[in-house]
Amino acid sequence: MADWLGPQEWQAVALSLQVAVVATLVSLPLGLYVAYVLARRDFWGHAALNILVHLPLVLPPVVTGYLLLLSFGRQGLIGGFLDRAFGLVFAFNWTGAALAAGIMGFPLMVRAIRLAIEAVDPGLEEAASTLGASRWMVLATGTLPRALPGIVAGMVLAFAKAMGEFGATITFVSNIPGSTQTVPSAIYAFLQVPGGEASAVRLVWVSIAVSVAALLVSELLARRAIKRVQGQ
């Protein structure tokens, strides 16, 4: 692939994969927790939390990117603190692209995992609790293994969304080749210059190949998870 793609194209592909993997893995623990809370807990503010989680799906991506810039930019309240305290910079950095991609894919991850947890019989959890198992033990050994197909599906959806995210990313971290230019941003940039169509087409094919591979891996992992659950 390195011979087929030019240096700038290869950098965009590598950065997109890096951003998508980091965004998915970092958001997974919080996604599991939020999905479980929404599926199994009834509390004041449940509807508000549900709206907040799904807000990135209905907001224009540019709005999400601008809000991230205001919050996590060097002059933002959160971004300024992280920069001064830990030297962690998000704006106009690949870490910001991962943050934006993670936020945009988070609702898809949470929804898939939540539906999978809701499909698990609560009676099994109650039975394990009456036998002395702690809540975390029930979650780790009972609920999450049975919800594994949905967890895998949620991770793949989040990964795919991160790979294709454009509006929030380009607004928050711009389109800097070799630094913040992901595949969608590179395709957009190539289409703006004469003679860039060939590079754009190559990146389109790369995007399709990565998406198909992700779906195939997801299907394989989901089938194995289902067989494991059915065998229990």
| Superfamily of 7-231 according to CATH | MetI-like (1.10.3720.10)
Measured distance between the N- and C-terminal CA atoms of the chain, rounded to whole angstroms: 42
Specify the DSSP element, H or E, that contains 181: none
Q: What CA–CA distance (Å, rounded) separates 138 from 117?
A: 12
At residue 65, the pLDDT reads 92
Q: What CA–CA distance (Å, rounded) separates 67 from 52?
A: 14
CA angle, 145 then 220 then 122, to 5°? 25
Residue-wise pLDDT tens digits, 135-151: 677 776 777 788 888 88
* Amino acid at position 165, single letter: E
Q: For residue 55, give Cα distances in angstroms to 26, 51, 116, 160.
A: 19, 6, 21, 18
Q: What CA–CA distance (Å, rounded) separates 54 from 111?
A: 9
* Amino acid at position 62, single letter: V
Q: What is the pTM of this model?
A: 0.86
Averaged pLDDT score across all residues of the chain: 85
- Residue with the two structure tokens 């989040």: 158
Structure tokens at 115: 């539906």
- The residue extents of the domains of the chain are 7-231
At residue 132, the pLDDT reads 62
Q: Give the CB-side neighbour count of residue 51, counting CA atoms within 13 A.
A: 4
Query: Residue 168, Cβ neighbours under 10 Å: how many?
Result: 27
* Amino acid at position 148, single letter: L
Q: Give Rg (Cα) of the chain.
A: 20
Q: For residue 202, give Cα distances in angstroms to 99, 173, 179, 190, 224.
A: 26, 24, 20, 11, 33
Q: Is the pLDDT of residue 17 over 50?
A: yes
pLDDT bracket for residue 232 (50, 70, 90): low
Percent of the chain with pLDDT over 90: 38
Once rounded to an integer, what is the mean pLDDT over residues 66-94? 88
